[in-house]
Amino acid sequence: MNHTYAVIEEIDNLNNTFMDLESQVRGYVISGNPVFLNGLSAKTEVAKSQLARLQTLTADNTKQQVNIQTLSQLVDAKLGFQEELLTAYKASNRKALD
């Protein structure tokens, strides 16, 4: 039961980290205020670390490993999208808002 709780807690932590990341990127794109980017790289690394911890916690369960692999792909896609959004904003803030 403790192990299951640890997995659920780490999933929750990863979700919270991504909500923070999304909020920061959205705040920057809407306002243009670079203060929203403070700690963005560090939070991205935290998210990657949380995902790695989930992979470790579920190493003994093949089905969970498949699910974590899918989650990993979604995490990579989300991080990629946020990077594209920031790049688009630098080129044209109007383009990023659309």
pLDDT digits (tens, 9 = 90+) for 33-87: 999 999 999 999 999 999 999 999 999 999 999 999 999 999 999 999 999 989 8
Q: Are 43 and 21 a contacting pair, CB within 8 Å?
A: yes
The rounded distance, in Å, linking the Cα atoms of 7 and 5 is: 5
Token pair recorded at residue 44:
């991205």
5 burial via Cβ count (<10 Å: 0-12, 13-18, 19+): exposed
pLDDT of residue 47: 95
Single pTM value for the model: 0.84
The residues near 71 (Cβ < 8 Å, ≥ 6 apart) are 51, 54
Decide: helix, strand or coil at residue 58.
coil
The torsion angles phi and psi of 38, rounded to 5 degrees, stand at -60, 125
Rounded mean pLDDT, 24-38: 93
